[in-house]
Structure 1
Amino acid sequence: MKRELNADNLAPQGAAGQKEKVSNNELKALGINDVEILVNFSRVANGLLKHNVMSKPEILANMEALIDDPMPYALKKGGKFKNLAEDVIALRKDGKFVKQERSNFKLKEEIADFPVWGLEHIEVGALAQMRTAIQLPITVAGALMPDAHQGYGLPIGGVLATTANTIIPFAVGVDIACRMCLSIFDLPAETIDTETDKLKNMLENHTYFGMGCTTKSHFDSSLFDSKTWNETKVIRTLKDKAYAQLGTSGTGNHFVEWGELTIADHVLDGIPAGRYLALLSHSGSRGFGGSVADHYSKIAMTKTKLPAEAKHLAWLDLDKDEGQEYWIAMNLAGEYASANHHEIHNKIARALNHKPLMMIENHHNFAWKEQLANGTEVMVHRKGATPAGKGVLGIIPGSMSTPGFVVRGRGDESSINSASHGAGRLMSRSAAFKTLDKAAIAANLVDKRITLMGSDMDEAPMAYKDIHAVMTAQENLVEVLAKFEPRIVRMADAREKPED
């Protein structure tokens, strides 16, 4: 007997013997009202669900994103949603299936004041994004750092405190737990000039850059013994990728570099004043963190409907499964990013045959459960911002030819205990390629005695703000303890797609 296929009999059996399915009402909630389109979306959704290709929240999140912008799905060869995306594009050319804006949550009508450091250095777009973030119904407080520039949802350099049980994936950032790490060695800074080739070879042999790059050997992979890698399906599916990429650095503004560290007296415990050889790295949680961010940001935008200008600020509720899953994955990404840096630093320290005198590190794409000065419990999102609580050590880098700084937080309450995460971009990558002069960049590197391995014009020093102006703008947020001057810089090869 021939069986008719429909949305109902395409749905898989649930745990209790009931058929789990993506209902028509759930699809209509995405803005699908035409019967023929509804049938097509239902067929694809429930087919994927039946064959356990994706979870229901992930299917709905992808369909939400497809309806918002079908082009990326249409261009993906062999993609699960390619045919649907092509249908949507064709319909819109005929003026059909126009996406209707939906909003379950309204923004606050009044825009609360928020402090801005270095206002003269910040573009209008970043200010506009911060104003929108301040209007979220869950926002408690916010602040903008002097390196701020536009991002997705929350601007880079934005600090946002929300109610304690909410978390915004895009306010954490795509590169979850992107961080800095500095190793200080008991060797004179002049080692860079006397042992240049040796130090270059260490970077060549023990650092790995590129979007899909992996390593073949590990110094310490004990993090992967943690039971947390089995906590959720998403984490389990990404464990092998994370293991393969342990000790790699990615692309964009990520780097590993040797430099000269000048330390004043009595500022870092046990280290006398002087000029030391130091190793500085900047990278995050690699493909693991990127995949976690992509997965849960889509779910957040499905669960939390906001006006168009705020859609990337969609949040997850920590009282619900998806919020708890993201929280677990984000914190694991933090541990993984730290292990990533330690892997690089330990391998290089072993090659150098010197243990570091001190290692300093900090996240700058993360969310923390904290209390405001009045005792209010909040979730503090720092997207491209450095924790600067009273006495907290951190690192604020400049560019490949300008200084970075070891800092100690002053615990400024109005900044929500935060500071900038670097100089911040002055121009977009495309603008850098269009406007900067290769000869001028090369001359700058020669003048600053920089040996550059990799990189391209979009990471040129001129593409960044003046780090000295940025540091001046936040003197009340951090105390400068030491200055790091880059000398041998390793980055991803030219034209690698940026991940930062």
Structure 2
Amino acid sequence: MDILRGKYTTARITARDTDDGCLAQIQGLCDHPAFTNPIVIMPDAHAGKGAVIGFTMRLGTAVVPEVVGVDIGCGVLGARLAAPWDNPAGYDRLIRSSIPMGFDVGDDRLDLALFTPWLDGMNRALRGFAARLGLPFTETTPDHIGALLDEMGERSWYGIGSLGGGNHFIEAGREEGGGDWLFIHSGSRNFGLKVCEKWQQRAAGTAPSGPELREIARAVRRQAEEGLFPREEIPERIRAASAPTVHTAGGVPWLEGEGALGYLREMLVAQVYACLNRRAMLETVLRVSGNRSLETVETVHNYISSDEPMTIRKGAVSAKRGERLLVPLNMAEGVLLCEGAGNEEWNLSAPHGAGRRMSRKKALRTLDSGRLERQMAEAGVYTGNRAAEVLDEAPDAYKPAGDIVALLPATATILGRVRPVHNIKAKEEPFRRRGEPD
């Protein structure tokens, strides 16, 4: 295990192969004043947009929204199926006609009542974050969530139940020696992107305005009504909460104090949004396929955990002792069913997948569509996608599955493996052809 030492902390690197770009991003984090706790980098590490993928660190008092990333709460929901997945071609047509993919969203406006069962957990988490930052706590309500959805744009109200593009997928597979599983990999869609962008801009010194400023004022007044401070302090506290505070040492601005708590509040909403999104798609797939779920396992990989020890994970998953987790490898080699070992040296974390070995741009330039078609055929995987639509997601674009399998036992026990029989991705031009990032 390699160790990088920086100005403020160190990073333990569990990956077998890290390129210069990845190492440079890790070194930058170690030299950044917002990162002071020990960093552990997962085996699937690779350079990412804004921050290295495979990052884990215990939460301190500073937050960089870009480190969690734009797809807040992204993860994989797995369901063990009651009946075999026996008609991939037929199910493919039904699913594609029922679930929006790529840039598309649905027609049904989100019902805020969906958040009600999650509110207690969200507010417990927020209370813990507030205590960590030494700040007063005010609860999140459905009205806050509705105002946030309005602020993030009309599409946010219609994103639940939509897959997205890129590496997001719906996949059915057969467990070796067991039954069939269904997996859904997706996140918070455009809503999480907007939340990240908003708070990274705040960190860079952009002052709030419009709906956000009104929400700040309402929150401050609620705190005064709850007796947290005298009412005559309201104007000054509104000014303080809405004033941009810029921290730029290390090259990337970060949030502290009220700014950090504001981000964490909205990050929690985005995390729940992502969970609701996956559950809505699971319900749809089960309905159109005439199947049902016997049990579910969910693994989230872009988030900050609120339970102790509070941990930032970017492209990494929780692996506490006895905790069940899913590790997808690639579209031809399936998903590992695992149980966490609770290894403190790994920040109680595990890789979220195999990790890219090349950018999307390089994959499109160098990989062969014919080889991808042969790989999928040899693996016995049905897909309704043309190879050209998913070439940047080909198995060869990812690190060898064997490397991940070999390194996992240090942090998780592999309980089984689900080999894919059906893989669904958005039918769209790959990201780089639309001018989007690698």
Quick check: TM above 0.5? yes
5+ residue gaps, structure 1: 1-107, 263-273, 373-378
1:346-495 maps to which residues of 2 (within 5 A)? 346-371=283-308, 379-454=310-385, 455-495=389-429
Say which of 259, 266, 275 aligns to 1:329. Answer: 266
8 Å Cα contact 2:50/2:69 also seen in 1: no
Q: Measured at CA, do residues 197 and 456 of structure 1 come closer, stay the same or move farther in structure 2, by a change above 3 Å? A: closer
1:24-423 maps to which residues of 2 (within 5 A)? 110=7, 112-118=9-15, 120-138=16-34, 139-163=36-60, 165-188=61-84, 191-192=85-86, 195-211=87-103, 213-217=104-108, 222-223=113-114, 228-231=141-144, 234-238=148-152, 240-262=154-176, 274-302=177-205, 303-307=245-249, 310-312=250-252, 314-317=253-256, 319-320=257-258, 322-371=259-308, 379-423=310-354
8 Å Cα contact 2:8/2:33 also seen in 1: no
5+ residue gaps, structure 2: 120-139, 206-244
SS of 1:115's equivalent in the other structure is strand
1:4-15 maps to which residues of 2 (within 5 A)? none
TM-score of the superposed pair, with normalisation by structure 1: 0.68
SS of 2:93's equivalent in the other structure is helix
Whole-angstrom distance in 1 between the partners of 2:52 and 2:261:
25
The alpha carbon displacement at 1:344 in A equals: 0.6
The alpha carbon displacement at 1:173 in A equals: 1.0
SS of 1:391's equivalent in the other structure is coil
8 Å Cα contact 1:183/1:359 also seen in 2: yes
Q: Measured at CA, do residues 112 and 362 of structure 1 come closer, stay the same or move farther in structure 2, by a change above 3 Å? A: same
The alpha carbon displacement at 1:114 in A equals: 2.5
8 Å Cα contact 1:167/1:367 also seen in 2: no
8 Å Cα contact 2:110/2:160 also seen in 1: no
SS of 1:311's equivalent in the other structure is coil
The alpha carbon displacement at 1:179 in A equals: 0.7
Q: Measured at CA, do residues 277 and 202 of structure 1 come closer, stay the same or move farther in structure 2, by a change above 3 Å? A: farther
C-alpha RMSD of the superposition: 2.4
Larger RCO (CA under 8 A, 6+ residues apart): 2
Amino acid at match of 1:493: K
8 Å Cα contact 1:179/1:364 also seen in 2: yes
How many residue pairs end up in the alignment?
Answer: 364
8 Å Cα contact 2:166/2:426 also seen in 1: yes
8 Å Cα contact 1:153/1:170 also seen in 2: yes
Bigger mean CA deviation after superposition, 335-344 or 474-483? 474-483
Amino acid at match of 2:255: L
8 Å Cα contact 2:329/2:354 also seen in 1: yes
SS of 1:247's equivalent in the other structure is coil
Q: Which has the larger radius of gyration?
A: 1
Whole-angstrom distance in 2 between the partners of 1:142 and 1:109:
11
8 Å Cα contact 2:330/2:398 also seen in 1: yes
Whole-angstrom distance in 2 between the partners of 1:499 and 1:245:
21
The alpha carbon displacement at 1:417 in A equals: 0.6
The alpha carbon displacement at 1:471 in A equals: 2.2
Whole-angstrom distance in 1 between the partners of 2:49 and 2:192:
16
Q: Measured at CA, do residues 137 and 162 of structure 1 come closer, stay the same or move farther in structure 2, by a change above 3 Å? A: farther
Amino acid at match of 1:124: D
Bigger mean CA deviation after superposition, 465-474 or 170-179? 465-474
SS of 2:331's equivalent in the other structure is coil
The alpha carbon displacement at 1:251 in A equals: 1.0
Amino acid at match of 1:298: Q
